[in-house]
Amino acid sequence: MSFWVPDTIATLQGAVSDTLHSARAAAESGAQGSAIFSELLHHVQDSHELELPWGRVELPAFPPVHIGSVSIDLSITKHVVFLWVAALFVIVLMVAAAKKNRKSKIPTGLGGVVEIFVTFIRDEIALPNMGTVGLKYLPYLLTTFFFILTMNLSGIIPYGSTATGNISVTAGLAAIAFLMIQFSAIRSQGFGHYLAHFTGGVHWALWPIMIPIEVLGIFTKVFALCMRLFANMTGGHIVILSFIGLIFLFKSYYIAPASVGFALFVYLLELFVAFLQAYVFTMLTALFMGLGIQTEHQEHAEQSH
């Protein structure tokens, strides 16, 4: 026993030492991987600095505003900057296209490109979903489409950022859509008739069930608009980062061609998704507005028969 105990203790000490060494190496490797992944996610996440070719620029920060127990941070972030850039770009682009088309009866160049989108939204979105009344709301639909499209595309350019990848931005767009949906329905039906639709035309005994369902339904529509745009614009960036992250996960240059190839494919797919999501958001907004507008016309048609 006197010879066995020291050997056993030495063996246990060696095992503990090896375990600690492995744990330390794993921790260091995990920390490096976490740092690399955090650096990649920096492009997707919102931050208080801008990435520029010559470095990073800190954005001004303001103290939060407290309203009761609610704290609101009004500091300028990266997504806010690109939201402003998108708004300015759309204003300048539309003004330039309008001036160009005013001088020429046949749109060409920039005016011709904008005219294609305007005609498409008018003929394929506004009129089919809202009827001729949709022409009154065409400026809102056009603004929504071009604004969302510009924000979607800004995340594809180098050093850019997708403002629609921020749920606060998509929630704001959905809130405006909600107001326009209710406004168009009230304007078409009248306030009293608009409220009557929450009963669903059923017996008054069923109103306690029907009214909460109808109220929940009007909020569910805009919630779907918010989450669909946010998830689709964020998901593409995450997939690209996942493919690039495989290079660091396998720690091999041999995986790089496949990872970069798939990432490039998703990158090109995101270009299509940017147009698609701007179209889907605009089309669904027009559809929801049209449901309230067309209800009144359908009832008048039924009464005439």
**Residue 210, in any domain of the structure:** yes
With a cut of 50, say whether residue 293 has pLDDT above it: yes
Portion of the chain with pLDDT greater than 90, in percent? 27
**pLDDT value, residue 162:** 85
Of 5-19, 64-78, 126-140, 186-200, least confident by mean pLDDT is 5-19
**Residue 197, in any domain of the structure:** yes
Which residues have C-beta within 8 Å of that of residue 269, sequence separation ≥ 6? 236
* Length, in residues, of the chain: 305
Return the higher-pLDDT residue of 9 and 235: 235
Of 119-123, 161-165, 254-258, 298-302, least confident by mean pLDDT is 298-302
Q: Are 166 and 232 in contact (CB under 8 A)?
A: no
How sure is the predictor about 39, in pLDDT bands with cuts at 50, 70 and 90?
Answer: low
**pLDDT value, residue 44:** 66
Return the higher-pLDDT residue of 176 and 131: 176
**Residue 148, in any domain of the structure:** yes
Q: How far is it, in rounded angstroms, from Cα 246 to Cα 256?
A: 8
**Residue 31, in any domain of the structure:** no
**Tally of structural domains, the chain:** 1
Q: How far is it, in rounded angstroms, from Cα 31 to Cα 45?
A: 19
Mean pLDDT of the chain: 79
Structural domain including 280 reads 83-304
| SS3 of residue 155 by DSSP | coil
From residue 102, give the alpha-carbon distance in Å to each of 91, 94, 110, 117. 16, 12, 12, 17
With a cut of 70, say whether residue 202 has pLDDT above it: yes
Range with the largest mean pLDDT of 66-70, 113-117, 264-268: 113-117
**Residue 44, in any domain of the structure:** no
**pLDDT value, residue 124:** 93
| SS3 of residue 50 by DSSP | strand
From residue 97, give the alpha-carbon distance in Å to each of 105, 112, 120. 13, 8, 16
**Residue 17, in any domain of the structure:** no
**Residue 295, in any domain of the structure:** yes
Q: How far is it, in rounded angstroms, from Cα 285 to Cα 291?
A: 10
With a cut of 50, say whether residue 186 has pLDDT above it: yes
Q: Are 232 and 162 in contact (CB under 8 A)?
A: no
Portion of the chain with pLDDT greater than 70, in percent? 81
Range with the largest mean pLDDT of 37-51, 114-128, 185-199: 114-128
With a cut of 80, say whether residue 231 has pLDDT above it: yes
**pLDDT value, residue 66:** 81
Of 52-56, 254-258, 291-295, 299-303, least confident by mean pLDDT is 299-303
How sure is the predictor about 79, in pLDDT bands with cuts at 50, 70 and 90?
Answer: confident
With a cut of 70, say whether residue 40 has pLDDT above it: no
With a cut of 70, say whether residue 233 has pLDDT above it: yes
With a cut of 80, say whether residue 17 has pLDDT above it: no
Sign of CA dihedral 280, 286, 289, 291: negative
Q: State the burial class of residue 149 (Cβ atoms within 10 Å of its Cβ: 0-12, 13-18, 19+).
A: buried
Query: In the 8-state DSSP scheme, what is residue 229?
Result: H
**Residue 51, in any domain of the structure:** no
pTM of structure:
0.79
How sure is the predictor about 246, in pLDDT bands with cuts at 50, 70 and 90?
Answer: confident
**pLDDT value, residue 43:** 59
Residues 82-96, mean pLDDT to the nearest whole number: 93
Q: How far is it, in rounded angstroms, from Cα 202 to Cα 194?
A: 15
